[in-house]
């Protein structure tokens, strides 16, 4: 199980962000589904290539103990997954921030949170 520690922790760290983005405005993300991979994947590929160089030159290393040992082009799969998820979440965030519908979604979210946090009014 220790071999999957790095990969597992990445997913645990990013899951709340991904869920939050999809709770906030799933209709916005669905409507822009083609833009997200176009923005995210080239960045992830670039970072993976640069990571390969850094790993090869000894700039940093990945713990073999906490890694699956699976590599693509000399880069541990965990690093590639990290770059894909980071780029993907960033692209989704930009889509959400720049969409003209987002301010309305913020108002709805604020109202929902206020209703959740407001003490319940029970009739006597």
Percent of the chain predicted with pLDDT > 90:
77
Residue 76 lies in a domain: yes
| 67 belongs to a structural domain | yes
Q: How confident is the model at residue 122 (pLDDT cuts 50, 70, 90)?
A: low
Angle (CA) 99-39-74 rounded to 5° is 150
| Number of domains forming the structure of the chain | 1
- Give every CB contact of residue 46 below 8 A, 6+ residues apart in sequence: none
pTM value is: 0.82
In a domain, 116, yes or no: no
Whole-number percent of the chain with pLDDT over 70: 96
Where residue 123 falls among pLDDT bands split at 50, 70, 90? low
Question: What is d(CA 64, CA 69) in angstroms, rounded to the nearest whole number?
Answer: 6
Instruction: Please report whether residue 41 resides in a domain.
Output: yes
> Is residue 107 domain-resident?
no
Q: Interior CA angle at 103 toward 88 and 33, to 5°?
A: 30
Is residue 124 assigned to a domain?
Answer: no
Cβ-contact 52, 74 below 8 angstroms: yes
Residue 57 belongs to some domain of the structure: yes
Structural domain for 93, as ranges: 2-102
Domain annotation covers residue 120? no
């Amino acid at each position: 199980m220790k071999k999957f520690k790095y990969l597992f922790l990445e997913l645990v760290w990013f899951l709340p962000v991904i869920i939050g983005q999809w709770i906030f405005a799933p209709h916005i993300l669905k409507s822009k589904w083609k833009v997200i991979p176009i923005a995210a994947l080239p960045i992830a590929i670039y970072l993976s290539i640069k990571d390969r160089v850094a790993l090869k030159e000894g700039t940093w290393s990945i713990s073999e103990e906490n890694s699956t040992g699976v590599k693509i082009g000399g880069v541990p799969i965990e690093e590639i997954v990290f770059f894909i998820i980071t780029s993907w979440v960033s692209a989704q965030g930009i889509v959400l921030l720049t969409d003209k519908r987002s301010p309305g979604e913020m108002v709805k979210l604020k109202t929902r949170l206020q209703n959740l946090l407001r003490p319940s009014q029970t009739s006597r």
